[in-house]
Amino acid sequence: MSPRFEPISGRYLHVELLDKPHRLYVEEAGQGVPLLCLHTAGSDARQYRALMNDKRITANFRVIAFDMPWHGKSSPPAGWQGVEYQLTSSDYMRMILEVVDALELDSPVAMGCSIGGRIVLHLAHEYPERFRALIGLESAAHTEAYYDLSWLDRPDVHGGMVCAGVVSGLVAPIAPTVHRWETLWHYMQSGPGVFKGDLNFYMIDGDIRDRVDKIDIERCPLFLLTGEYDYSCTSEGTLDIARRTGASATIMRGLGHFPMSEDPEKFISYLLPVLEKIREQ
Amino acid sequence: MIDKIAGLVNADIRLVRRGRFVTTTFMIVIDDTYTLLRVEEGRITKVAPGPFITPDYSFCLRASRKVWEKFWEPLPPLGYTDIFALVKQKLMRVEGDLHPFMANLLYFKDVIAAPRLEAKR
């Protein structure tokens, strides 16, 4: 019997990001319109595996997902041991554009979840001409901290366990058990302080409430998909962006904050019509 | 519901194992009804109803009866599925020495939600 491989290929890309050399882990599958997928805070590109295994998507889209530096198999840049990792809006945007350039992607679609769902709003505002379309999963213009972030990175609390514990309630209560715990496993594997560093963007630096009205969806179409059980990026927050920008928004029933990994089948049923609209553009 | 927690937790060997390093006393407040729960190596060994003059505990979870009842439904309504969902909406307060709670968050989340299992029966 021949080995059963998935159609996903993973490689290390050597790329200069934020003026430093990086060895970035990139996975992809499919062909056609480039669909660049951005993972959530404190996790990695494994969240998008189901999309890369779905022929309905990969027949027309080249699905690409990379582990951000510090995440998954993309190590931090040399010298990380003397640095506190803190993600900012400007670094995050610049990094995405540098990855797009390094991969020579021509007018890709970018789709991000949570912090990724926030950064697509920044991209829609500042770089709409670089993208064919933007898809925000669990997008809100701002999220207030609802617990003390210092718990996420201290030596007397297990970082993996507390990060998974914090996000566990964001998974829909009806999500399939196997996918819930796979999603949490990614959080348990995150490096020390990385989730907290990402939340610097999510809860502090990345607040875009004052610029949402300036997003012009004529320059780049914006689609928003949010799980009804997400209490971090709420349905109200997403619908507010839609109201202020004219973007298309759908509240996904039975899903939470990690739709693509907590219940891939259900999520893909919401994503396919969006991808179809983008193809028809 | 609160009187069911000990039996439900102690019968769940995977949950007891997850809490095997937890030894503390915490408090649940429902309206103005106080209950102390003693945990020893992941097992609930004592559930003591108040009132108390000088309660001794590490942390406390405080919410109205209406909120707790929704939280303990087998499938809670939107916004009531998780402790942090309640905290974010200011429907619950988590107070005191939070170290045992945060260091064992997955354990305590399941302990506190245990009455949902009873409601499912």
List chain B residues with CB under 8 Å of A151. Answer: 98, 102
- In Å, how far is B60's CA from the nearest CA of chain A? 15
Distance CA A132, CA A143 (A): 27
**pLDDT per position as a tens digit, A209-235:** 999 999 999 999 999 999 999 999 999
pLDDT of the residue at B121: 60
Convert B48-81 to b/e letters by CB count within 10 Å (16 or more is b).
eeeeeeeeebebbbbbeeebbbbbbeeebeebbb
Q: What's the domain count of chain B?
A: 1
Asked whether the beta carbons of residue A165 and residue B98 sit closer than 8 angstroms, the reply is: no
C-beta of residue A241 within 8 angstroms of C-beta of residue A217: no
pLDDT of the residue at B46: 97
DSSP string of A190-221?
A: PPTTHHHHHHIIIIIIT--TTTGGG--TTTS-
Q: Which of B17, B21, B106 has the highest number of chain A CBs within 10 A, making it the mutation to test binding with A? A: B106
Give the nearest partner residue to A165 out of B75, B89, B109, using CB atoms.
Answer: B109
Distance CA A17, CA A91 (A): 9
Asked whether the beta carbons of residue A228 and residue B78 sit closer than 8 angstroms, the reply is: yes
Nearest CA in chain A to B78: A229
Whole-number average pLDDT of chain A:
98
Confidence of residue A260 (pLDDT cuts 50, 70, 90): very high
Asked whether the beta carbons of residue A169 and residue B103 sit closer than 8 angstroms, the reply is: no
Sheet arrangement for strand B33-40 = B43-49, B33-40, B23-30, B59-63, B92-96
Is the pLDDT confidence value at A61 over 90? Answer: yes
List chain A residues with CB under 8 Å of B79. Answer: 231
**pLDDT per position as a tens digit, A105-158:** 999 999 999 999 999 999 999 999 999 999 999 999 999 999 999 999 999 999
Distance of CA A143 to the CA centre of its chain: 16
The residues in A 100-159 lying below 8 A from B, measured between CB atoms, are 144, 146-148, 151, 156-158
Number of A/B CB contacts below 8 angstroms equals: 55
Q: Give the closest residue to B68 by CA, choosing from B100, B107, B98, B29.
A: B29
Helices A177-188, A159-168: axis angle to 10 degrees equals 140
List chain B residues with CB under 8 Å of A144. Answer: 88
pLDDT of the residue at B119: 67
Task: Using the Cα atoms of residue B66, residue B68, residue B72 and residue B78 in order, give the sign of their dihedral.
Answer: positive
Give the pLDDT of chain B (121 residues) as one tens digit per residue.
888 999 999 999 999 999 999 999 999 999 999 999 999 999 999 999 999 999 999 999 999 999 999 999 999 999 999 999 999 999 999 999 999 999 999 999 999 999 998 766 6
Q: Which of B78, B97, B111 has the highest number of chain A CBs within 10 A, making it the mutation to test binding with A? A: B78
Domain ranges of chain A: 9-280
Distance CA A117, CA A42 (A): 14
Residue A170 at interface with chain B, using a CB cutoff of 8 Å = yes
> Which burial class, exposed, middle or buried, applies to A81 when counting CB atoms under 10 A from its CB (0-12, 13-18, 19+)?
exposed
C-beta of residue A87 within 8 angstroms of C-beta of residue A196: no
Sheet arrangement for strand A248-252 = A9-17, A20-29, A61-66, A33-38, A109-113, A133-137, A222-227, A248-252
DSSP string of B14-76?
A: HHHHHTTT-EEEEEEEETTEEEEEEEETTEEEEEEE---SS---SEEEEE-HHHHHHHTSSSP
Domain with B93, as residue range(s), is 2-120
- In Å, how far is A269's CA from the nearest CA of chain B? 22
pLDDT of the residue at B118: 75
Give the nearest partner residue to A157 out of B103, B106, B109, using CB atoms.
Answer: B103
Distance CA B110, CA B12 (A): 10
- In Å, how far is B72's CA from the nearest CA of chain A? 13
Residue A177 at interface with chain B, using a CB cutoff of 8 Å = no
- In Å, how far is A223's CA from the nearest CA of chain B? 23
Q: What is the DSSP letter of A81?
A: G
- CATH class (in words) of the domain with range A9-280: alpha beta
Distance CA A274, CA A268 (A): 10
Asked whether the beta carbons of residue A156 and residue B82 sit closer than 8 angstroms, the reply is: no
Average pLDDT of span A247-268: 98
Query: H or E stretch including A271?
Result: helix A264-280
Nearest CA in chain B to A169: B82
List chain B residues with CB under 8 Å of A148. Answer: 98
CATH number at residue B110: 3.30.1050.10
**pLDDT per position as a tens digit, B15-32:** 999 999 999 999 999 999
Q: Which of B61, B81, B101 has the highest number of chain A CBs within 10 A, making it the mutation to test binding with A? A: B81
A61-66/A33-38 β-pairing: parallel
The residues in A 178-237 lying below 8 A from B, measured between CB atoms, are 228-229, 231-232
Q: What is the DSSP letter of A251?
A: E
